[in-house]
């Protein structure tokens, strides 16, 4: 149970880092790719999938 | 319209869009994504949000492994641990090529063996090994080839060999009896690779090399470098020895543990947030490709394109199938990565089992060949990662050139294992 | 900045619509209208409280005859993506009556597995069965438990207690988790709870309903633990002579975690596993949708068959769900009849369950009842 919570915290950290990188990015292709990669992490964090 | 006709049209549309996207200088990852969307549209599925995102989930856990493993490595680098190890290895073994090569091979095999991912080998020890090889007079492209080939073999090596495991799971075959059939060829081929490509290596000029290498920070010592790895090993092994009393941690959390230890022991202060942000950025091409490939497999399955490919492959004459494994396996790896195991591995193993080959040894033989695909452009995911990690500036094809001889050896060994799987079934000891 | 906002908005839209779809299919209500034979509806947690409140605290439908006799447990949804198993249990819970003995039915043995679909598999989220009163929807499900209920996976799954190494994903596979572990993962706990049910209720036979791809050698068969060998062989002979061809296979002794091995080894019950053909699971399948799931027609699978790559026949007619459910129903009825003939004191006499031909003739939907018209007290949800 504690381990599962740690995984959600890890996913939250990754979501935070990716969002930060999207905001800092200057290339549109990079931003699109970040968004695609971000979605599964976000939905896992929200416990939707 | 027959399914063959419709799936062929969809596949053609996907290939066309991929090529067009590449012409317009769109990145490989986004070209795959664009081709996938085209497949869904032409296949009459519109923009299937559910399927796109479900596909994107396929490699979520593997992405987490990559992120945490790289985070651990980057922390180790920042702490000065890497520089320390390289200096010490050179000081101790710079005159003894044989021992040095065997040690480096073992060092390269371990991370991939434990995680099933060649990229972890590249990220965890690839850079360090490359530095040592560099000071032995081995060119960057040759070094990259050594690291890449052994990293691929480390991924195929037991105990964790994802191609074998995913295929075995797909045909409801227990993942048992694979240890020797996987270990023997991987170890043998890894040693052959380093000795063949490193044949002309000279003992390094120690003084010059040490002068060029970055200084290790004061306070760094073997314990501080080894402890995080030791923790990693202990946690992985503990899970194996006491699976019923030790909690299931999973590789990402184990890597996090090692990363935390590294931070705690670092003699230098490390900007955790900045290193984390850079790590995610550094990994974007890798996790981006994985995510997009997941979407691709899902849409190919949805539209029947995956079935078309599978059925075409398995209905070819058996001899042709076996003799072309050296093309089909690496190419499927290039396009699908681990997705090639469920897409291609499963029908192939069922076919081999059907004609009386030994499925375990045959699958082990195939698993050795599969990772070669990770060097083939345009995806070339592990190949690109290797080249970037070791800082090779030469054109990519120089690296590919040096991969050819070990690749041929791997192909021969792997194919012979498939052909003579029945006779080699004595290898299935445990 | 506008570009960034647009890209993010597109991503969020994708996340929203997919998330909505995942949420809806995970929470899709599957009604069960209790048939006249159901005397109690228990919870699996009554046999092992540690799973109380979890996704896998499944309904256990109990059907009891007036005359005492033997006890049978039948499991649908060990692998929810094999719908013939679950639909067969629906027919039983909504129609069967018992004259002698007791029958325990689980429509969702691994309920968590019903709430998720296979990554990369392009499964439809649900499928619809047509009935005389309208349509009833079912969750497609997967072979494995939902990661939302059990996360993370280990690098290798080591089966308890045999220590056999299996692919890491199989740690979420109920049919690799038998006999279960009380302090294990949710899937292992579910296996343990079911083992407790078998022991506490003194179950005589456990039947695990499955389906298989045609490229898999264990298909159209009854897999039997050595103690169920004679029963399975006899059933296969009688059915093959009277209704359709079905084989019998012995459960391999070295293959651990499967119901046909572990239940037989760890309890007093005889364990049998039924397999029907499901082209939807074949690796060579073409377009993947609910139609393929229910009709079992596929050009590519037929082509693989023409090249001798399959272990079961397939032609343009495919393997419709009615045929597959009919096979399970008839095999179950036959096993009960044979068992009851040989064990008069432990007989289980069941009525009102359609046989193979009747299911094909009327369709599965004919045996499902309208929850809207039923007494709400008799409607349960899976």
Tens-of-pLDDT digits for all 430 residues of chain B?
899 999 999 999 999 999 999 899 998 889 999 999 999 999 999 999 999 999 999 989 989 988 998 899 889 889 998 888 878 888 888 888 888 899 899 889 987 887 778 887 898 789 888 988 988 889 999 999 999 999 999 999 988 788 998 888 777 777 788 999 999 999 999 999 999 999 988 887 788 778 877 888 989 999 998 999 899 889 988 998 999 999 999 989 999 999 999 999 999 999 999 999 999 998 898 889 889 989 998 999 999 999 998 898 888 899 999 999 999 999 988 877 777 887 789 889 988 988 899 999 999 999 999 999 999 987 788 999 899 889 899 999 999 999 999 999 999 999 999 999 999 999 988 6
Residues B34 and B61 grouped into a single domain: no
pLDDT at residue B202, rounded to an integer: 85
* Domains along chain C with CATH numbers: 34-381 (3.40.630)
Q: Which residue of C287, C290, C307, C309 to mutate against B (max B Cβ within 10 Å)? A: C287
- Spatial separation of the C-alpha atoms in residues B94 and C374, rounded to whole Å: 84
Chain A closest-CA separation from residue B36 CA (Å): 13
List CB contacts of A38: < 8 A, sequence separation 6 or more.
Answer: A15, A18, A19, A22, C11
Q: Is-contact C21 C126, C-beta < 8 A?
A: no
Q: Which of B27, B47, B67 is the last residue of a domain?
A: B47
Residues B115 and B15 grouped into a single domain: no
Phi, psi dihedrals of residue C245, rounded to the nearest 5°: -80, 125
Residues B106 and B211 grouped into a single domain: yes
Residues B13 and B62 grouped into a single domain: no
Q: Is-contact B413 B192, C-beta < 8 A?
A: no
Phi-psi region of B137 (alpha: psi -120 to 50; beta: other; left: phi over 0): left
- Spatial separation of the C-alpha atoms in residues B180 and B135, rounded to whole Å: 34
pLDDT at residue B368, rounded to an integer: 97
Q: Is-contact C172 C180, C-beta < 8 A?
A: no
Q: Is-contact C330 C360, C-beta < 8 A?
A: no
Residues B217 and B295 grouped into a single domain: yes
List CB contacts of A9: < 8 A, sequence separation 6 or more.
Answer: none
- Spatial separation of the C-alpha atoms in residues C191 and C185, rounded to whole Å: 10
Chain B closest-CA separation from residue A36 CA (Å): 8
Q: For B220-233, what is each residue's pLDDT tens digit?
A: 999 998 999 899 88
- Spatial separation of the C-alpha atoms in residues C121 and C304, rounded to whole Å: 19
**For chain A, what are the domain ranges?**
2-45
Strand-pair partners of C247: C221
Residues B310 and B373 grouped into a single domain: yes
Pairing mode of beta strands C205-212, C67-75: parallel
Chain C closest-CA separation from residue A36 CA (Å): 7
Pairing mode of beta strands C134-139, C157-158: unpaired
Q: What's the CA angle centered on B312, arms B308 and B316, to 5 degrees?
A: 170
- Spatial separation of the C-alpha atoms in residues C128 and C107, rounded to whole Å: 17
Q: What's the CA angle centered on B69, arms B126 and B149, to 5 degrees?
A: 30
Chain A residues touching residue C148 (CB < 8 angstroms): 47, 49
- Spatial separation of the C-alpha atoms in residues B40 and B36, rounded to whole Å: 6
- Cite the DSSP H helix spans in chain C: 2-26, 83-95, 111-114, 186-200, 229-242, 259-266, 290-295, 299-306, 321-342, 356-362
Residue B208: HSE in the Cβ half-sphere, 13 Å Cα cutoff: 7
Q: What is the 3-state secondary structure (H, E, C) of chain A?
A: CHHHHHHHHHHHHHHHHHHHHHHHCCCHHHHHHHHHHHHHHHHHHCCCC
Sign of the Cα torsion B251, B252, B253, B254 reads positive
pLDDT at residue B85, rounded to an integer: 83
The closest of C153, B276, B228, B242 to A4, measured between CA atoms, is C153
Domain extent for B11: 1-47
DSSP string, B215-248: PPPTT--HHHHHHHHHHHHHHHHHHHHSTTTS--
Mean pLDDT (chain B, rounded): 91
Q: For B5-26, what is each residue's pLDDT tens digit?
A: 999 999 999 999 999 998 999 9
Cis preceding linkage at B378, omega within 30: yes
pLDDT at residue B135, rounded to an integer: 83
Helix (H) or strand (E) holding B349: helix B346-354
Residues B4 and B43 grouped into a single domain: yes
Residue C349, class by beta-carbon neighbours within 10 Å (0-12 exposed, 13-18 middle, 19+ buried)? middle
Chain A closest-CA separation from residue C5 CA (Å): 10
- Spatial separation of the C-alpha atoms in residues C333 and C74, rounded to whole Å: 12
Q: For B83-131, what is each residue's pLDDT tens digit?
A: 888 788 888 888 888 888 998 998 899 878 877 788 878 987 898 889 8
Structure tokens at C311: 């272990």
Residues B21 and B125 grouped into a single domain: no
Q: Is-contact C194 C109, C-beta < 8 A?
A: yes
The closest of B91, B339, B116 to B204, measured between CA atoms, is B91
pLDDT at residue A4, rounded to an integer: 97
| DSSP-derived secondary structure letter, C252 | P
Residues B27 and B162 grouped into a single domain: no
Chain C closest-CA separation from residue A12 CA (Å): 15
pLDDT at residue B423, rounded to an integer: 96
C residues 60-119 near A, CB within 8 Å?
Answer: 116
**Which residue from A3, A28, A42 is facing C3, i.e. has the nearest CB?**
A28
pLDDT at residue C131, rounded to an integer: 98
| Whole-number Cα distances in Å, B306 to B310, B312, B313, B350, C81 | 6, 10, 11, 16, 19
Chain A residues touching residue C23 (CB < 8 angstroms): 48
The number of domains in chain B is: 2
CB pairs under 8 A between A and B: 70
pLDDT at residue B17, rounded to an integer: 97
Query: Which of C284-308 are b and which e, b meaning 16 or more Cβ less than 10 Å from the residue's Cβ?
Result: bbbbbbbebbbbbbbbbbbbbbeee
Residue B200, class by beta-carbon neighbours within 10 Å (0-12 exposed, 13-18 middle, 19+ buried)? exposed
Does B250 lie at the interface with A, CB-CB under 8 angstroms?
yes
Phi, psi dihedrals of residue B315, rounded to the nearest 5°: -95, 5
3-state secondary structure (DSSP) of residue B27: coil
CB contact under 8 A, A41 and B291: no
Residue C148, class by beta-carbon neighbours within 10 Å (0-12 exposed, 13-18 middle, 19+ buried)? middle
Q: Is-contact B394 B212, C-beta < 8 A?
A: no
Pairing mode of beta strands C221-224, C247-250: parallel
Chain C nearest-CA residue for B339: C120
pLDDT at residue B347, rounded to an integer: 83
Chain C nearest-CA residue for A7: C152
Residue A46 pLDDT greater than 90, yes or no = yes
Chain A closest-CA separation from residue C23 CA (Å): 6
Q: Which residue of C122, C285, C298, C307 to mutate against B (max B Cβ within 10 Å)? A: C122
Q: Which residue of C26, C155, C174, C213 to mutate against B (max B Cβ within 10 Å)? A: C155
- Spatial separation of the C-alpha atoms in residues B39 and B42, rounded to whole Å: 5
Helix, strand, coil percentages, rounded to 5, for chain B: 80, 0, 20
CB pairs under 8 A between B and C: 171
Q: For B231-245, what is each residue's pLDDT tens digit?
A: 988 998 899 899 999
Question: In a structure prediction context, what are the per-residue pLDDT tens digits for chain C, which is 382 residues long?
Answer: 899 999 999 999 999 999 999 999 999 999 999 999 999 999 999 999 999 999 999 999 999 999 999 999 999 999 999 999 999 999 999 999 999 999 999 999 999 999 999 999 999 999 999 999 999 999 999 999 999 999 999 988 999 999 988 878 899 999 999 999 999 999 999 999 999 999 999 999 999 999 999 988 899 999 999 999 999 999 999 999 999 999 999 999 988 999 999 999 999 999 999 999 999 999 899 999 999 999 999 999 999 999 988 999 999 999 999 999 999 999 999 999 999 999 999 999 999 999 999 999 999 999 999 999 999 999 999 9
- Spatial separation of the C-alpha atoms in residues C270 and C283, rounded to whole Å: 32
Q: Is-contact C80 C118, C-beta < 8 A?
A: no
Does ipTM exceed 0.95? yes
CB contact under 8 A, A37 and B56: yes
CB contact under 8 A, B277 and A17: yes
CB contact under 8 A, C154 and B248: yes
pLDDT at residue C278, rounded to an integer: 98
pLDDT at residue B56, rounded to an integer: 97
- Spatial separation of the C-alpha atoms in residues C148 and C174, rounded to whole Å: 16
């Amino acid at each position: 149970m504690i381990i599962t919570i740690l995984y959600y915290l890890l996913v939250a950290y990754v979501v935070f880092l990716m969002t930060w990188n999207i905001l800092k990015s200057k290339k549109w292709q990079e931003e699109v790719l970040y968004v695609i990669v971000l979605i599964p992490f976000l939905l896992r964090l929200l416990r939707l999938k | 319209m027959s399914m063959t006709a419709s799936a062929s049209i969809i596949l053609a549309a996907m290939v066309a869009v991929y090529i067009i996207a590449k012409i317009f200088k769109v990145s490989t990852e986004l070209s795959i994504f664009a081709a996938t969307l085209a497949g869904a549209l032409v296949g009459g599925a519109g923009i299937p949000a559910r399927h796109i995102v479900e596909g994107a989930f396929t490699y979520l856990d593997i992405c987490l492994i990559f992120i945490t493993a790289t985070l651990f490595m980057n922390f180790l680098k920042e702490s000065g641990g890497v520089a320390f190890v390289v200096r010490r290895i050179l000081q101790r073994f710079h005159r003894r090529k044989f021992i040095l090569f065997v040690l480096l091979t073992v060092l390269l095999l371990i991370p991939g063996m434990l995680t099933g991912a060649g990229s972890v080998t590249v990220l965890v020890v690839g850079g360090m090994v490359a530095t040592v090889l560099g000071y032995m007079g081995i060119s960057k492209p040759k070094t990259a080839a050594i690291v890449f080939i052994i990293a691929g073999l480390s991924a195929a090596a037991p105990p964790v060999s994802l191609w074998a495991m995913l295929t075995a799971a797909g045909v409801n075959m227990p993942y048992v009896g694979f240890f020797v059939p996987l270990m023997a060829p991987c170890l043998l081929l890894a040693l052959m690779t380093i000795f063949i490509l490193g044949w002309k290596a000279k003992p390094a000029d120690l003084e010059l090399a040490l002068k060029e290498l970055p200084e290790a920070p004061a306070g760094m010592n073997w314990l501080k470098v080894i402890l995080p790895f030791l923790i990693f090993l202990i946690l992985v092994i503990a899970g194996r020895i006491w699976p019923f009393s030790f909690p299931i941690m999973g590789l990402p959390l184990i890597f996090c543990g090692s990363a935390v230890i590294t931070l705690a022991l670092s003699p230098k202060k490390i900007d955790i947030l900045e290193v984390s942000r850079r790590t995610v950025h550094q990994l974007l091409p890798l996790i981006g490709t994985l995510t997009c490939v997941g979407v691709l497999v899902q849409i190919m399955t949805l539209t029947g394109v995956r079935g078309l490919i599978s059925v075409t492959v398995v209905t070819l004459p058996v001899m042709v199938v076996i003799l072309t494994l050296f093309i089909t396996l690496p190419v499927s790896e290039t396009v699908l990565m681990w997705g090639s195991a469920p897409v291609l591995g499963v029908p192939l193993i069922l076919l081999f089992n059907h004609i009386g080959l030994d499925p375990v040894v045959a699958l082990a033989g195939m698993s050795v060949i599969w990772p070669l695909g990770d060097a083939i452009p345009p995806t070339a995911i592990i190949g690109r990662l290797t080249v970037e990690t070791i800082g090779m500036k030469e054109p990519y094809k120089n690296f590919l050139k040096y991969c050819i001889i070990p690749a041929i050896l791997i192909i021969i060994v792997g194919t012979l294992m498939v052909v003579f799987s029945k006779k080699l079934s004595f290898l299935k000891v445990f | 900045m506008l570009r960034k906002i647009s890209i993010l908005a597109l991503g969020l839209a994708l996340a929203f619509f997919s998330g909505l779809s995942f949420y809806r299919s995970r929470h899709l209500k599957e009604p069960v209208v209790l048939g006249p034979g159901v005397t109690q509806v228990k919870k699996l947690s009554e046999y092992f409280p540690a799973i109380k409140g979890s996704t896998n605290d499944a309904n256990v439908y109990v059907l009891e005859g007036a005359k005492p006799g033997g006890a049978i447990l039948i499991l649908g949804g060990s692998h929810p993506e094999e719908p013939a198993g679950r639909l067969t249990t629906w027919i039983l819970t909504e129609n069967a009556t018992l004259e002698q003995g007791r029958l325990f039915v689980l429509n969702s043995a691994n309920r968590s597995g019903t709430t998720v679909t296979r990554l990369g598999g392009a499964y439809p989220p649900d499928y619809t069965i047509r009935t005389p009163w309208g349509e009833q929807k079912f969750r497609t499900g997967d072979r494995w438990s939902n990661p939302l209920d059990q996360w993370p996976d280990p690098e290798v799954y080591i089966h308890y207690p045999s220590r056999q190494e299996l692919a890491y994903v199989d740690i979420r596979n109920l049919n690799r988790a038998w006999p279960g572990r009380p302090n294990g993962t949710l899937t292992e706990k579910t296996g343990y709870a079911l083992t407790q049910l078998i022991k506490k209720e003194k179950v005589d036979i456990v039947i695990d309903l499955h389906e298989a791809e045609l490229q898999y050698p264990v298909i159209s068969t009854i897999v039997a633990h050595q103690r169920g060998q004679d029963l399975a062989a006899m059933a296969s002979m009688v059915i093959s002579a009277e209704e359709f061809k079905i084989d019998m296979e012995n459960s391999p002794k070295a293959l651990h975690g499967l119901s046909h091995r572990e239940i037989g080894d760890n309890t007093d019950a005889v364990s049998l596993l039924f397999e029907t053909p499901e082209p939807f699971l074949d690796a060579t399948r073409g377009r993947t949708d609910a139609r393929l799931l229910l009709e079992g027609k596929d050009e590519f699978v037929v082509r693989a068959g023409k090249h001798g790559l399959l272990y079961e026949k397939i032609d343009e007619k495919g393997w419709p769900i009615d045929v597959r459910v009919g096979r399970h129903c008839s095999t179950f009825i036959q096993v009960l009849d044979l068992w009851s003939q040989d064990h008069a004191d432990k007989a289980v006499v069941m009525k009102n369950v359609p046989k193979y031909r009747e299911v094909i003739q009327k369709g599965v939907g004919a045996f499902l009842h309208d929850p809207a018209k039923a007494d709400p007290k008799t409607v349960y949800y899976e």
